[in-house]
């Protein structure tokens, strides 16, 4: 069995991230008119398999949910959120692809740096040059527009187009995040 990662991003009609959405991965054919749908697929917490992940997986503050599963199976992905009303978003015939085994290593976390409203440069430890990265400042950013990234000797340097803002007047600080594969 080749284990691959599936990432899902849930947004409202205006593109804003929806946290707390319930994401299910089902084998086919799937019954999707009730919550939870069935039959639920076996999903894992890591590319090595190992720990089985309970469903549903809830989206985080970026509207993001992910799981690892058998890449040789077609899935039906079902997403429930109160904004969708009584019917879920149903995505049948989802074929997953990616590198299996230990050929690539995922990474994720919060870049290091001072959020003071002027600093734009943050760093993240990455053992080798990433083949894919996703960078957030409150929401996913577009490479070359919202940020630039450069890897050198184990450090990924992220330069944001706009300096992340600190917490001011009861407003939270900007939230930074990076993930990818190397």
Looking at residue 148, its pLDDT comes to 95
- Residue 25: its H or E element: strand 22-31
Looking at residue 125, its pLDDT comes to 92
Looking at residue 1, its pLDDT comes to 67
Residues of each domain in the chain carrying CATH 2.170.14: 3-95
CATH entry 2.60.40 includes domain 106-181: yes
Looking at residue 46, its pLDDT comes to 86
Looking at residue 102, its pLDDT comes to 46
Q: In terms of Cα–Cα distance, which of 86, 76, 88, 67 is closest to 21?
A: 88
Looking at residue 61, its pLDDT comes to 92
CATH architecture label of 3-95? Beta Complex (2.170)
Residues of each domain in the chain carrying CATH 2.60.40: 106-181
Average pLDDT per block of 10 residues along the chain, 182 residues long: 88 90 95 94 86 95 93 92 92 74 72 96 89 89 92 94 95 92 76
Question: Do residues 177 and 100 make contact, with C-beta atoms less than 8 angstroms apart?
Answer: no
């Amino acid at each position: 069995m080749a284990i691959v990662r599936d990432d899902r991003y849930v947004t409202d009609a205006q593109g804003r991230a929806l946290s707390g959405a319930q994401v299910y991965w089902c084998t086919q054919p799937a019954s999707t008119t009730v919550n939870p749908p069935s039959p639920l697929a076996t999903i894992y917490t890591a590319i090595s398999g190992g720990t089985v992940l309970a469903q549903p997986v809830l989206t985080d503050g970026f509207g993001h949910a992910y799981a690892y599963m058998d890449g040789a199976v077609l899935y039906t992905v079902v997403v429930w959120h109160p904004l969708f009303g009584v019917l879920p978003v149903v995505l049948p015939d989802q074929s997953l692809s990616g590198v299996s085994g230990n050929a690539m290593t995922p990474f994720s976390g919060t870049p290091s740096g001072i959020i003071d409203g002027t600093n734009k440069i943050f760093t993240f430890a990455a053992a080798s040059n990433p083949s894919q990265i996703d960078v957030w400042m409150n929401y996913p950013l577009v490479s070359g527009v919202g940020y630039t990234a450069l890897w050198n000797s184990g450090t990924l340097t992220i330069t944001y187009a706009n300096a992340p803002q600190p917490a001011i007047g009861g407003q939270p600080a900007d939230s930074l995040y990076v993930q990818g594969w190397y």
